[in-house]
Amino acid sequence: MRWFQKPQEPQEPDIWEVADARPLGDIEAAQRIREICASAGSIADKMPAGGHGAARDVEREKAPEAERYQAAIKRALEIALKISDDAMRDVSVAQIIRLCVTADHMKTARILVRAIKSERSRAELVAENPALADAE
């Protein structure tokens, strides 16, 4: 019944799929991570928590969304690795951690908490999300 289906319009690439033509400075990199996290946040909100019973069926249907989320996290981490300023990198990694918590990927979030060098930033994250306390 392809006759009645609308032709699919080409989708605009996600912000994390767009390649940078030039190297990013620390400020531009932090801004880019903020944009990626904001864009991927809508995907993370829709992701099912857990994976039991009916949630597993929903998870199969949302597999492309999970792949998009994973691509966003990967790209944000790649950019964060290139930030030379410790404080700016800590803030950027904290944004990625908040995205992981939203998507209920606590294992990744706990690992990333260890990457934050500032004790104050780490304490703030743990205060926001007590489940991250296991990472310390």
Q: pLDDT tens-digit profile of 11-41?
A: 666 666 666 666 678 899 899 999 989 988 8
pLDDT of res. 17: 64
In angstroms, the CA 101 to CA 97 distance is 6
The answer to the question of residue 60 being in a domain is yes
Asked if 92 and 112 count as a contact pair (C-beta separation under 8 A), the reply is no
DSSP per-residue codes, 56-72: HHHHHHTHHHHHHHHHH
The count of structural domains within the chain is: 1
Asked if 16 and 71 count as a contact pair (C-beta separation under 8 A), the reply is yes
Of the candidates 45, 34, 26, the one whose C-alpha atom is nearest the C-alpha of residue 100 is: 45
The answer to the question of residue 66 being in a domain is yes
The answer to the question of residue 64 being in a domain is yes
pLDDT of res. 54: 38
Asked if 76 and 105 count as a contact pair (C-beta separation under 8 A), the reply is no
pTM beyond 0.85:
no
Residue-wise pLDDT for 70-120, tens only, equals 888 999 999 999 999 999 999 999 999 999 998 888 898 999 998 899 899
The answer to the question of residue 15 being in a domain is no
The answer to the question of residue 39 being in a domain is yes
**Tokens of residue 34, six digits:** 């903020």
Length of the chain: 136
Residue-wise pLDDT for 38-68, tens only, equals 988 888 777 766 544 334 444 555 677 788 8
Residue-number span of the structural domain to which 60 is assigned: 25-135
The answer to the question of residue 10 being in a domain is no
The answer to the question of residue 129 being in a domain is yes
The answer to the question of residue 6 being in a domain is no
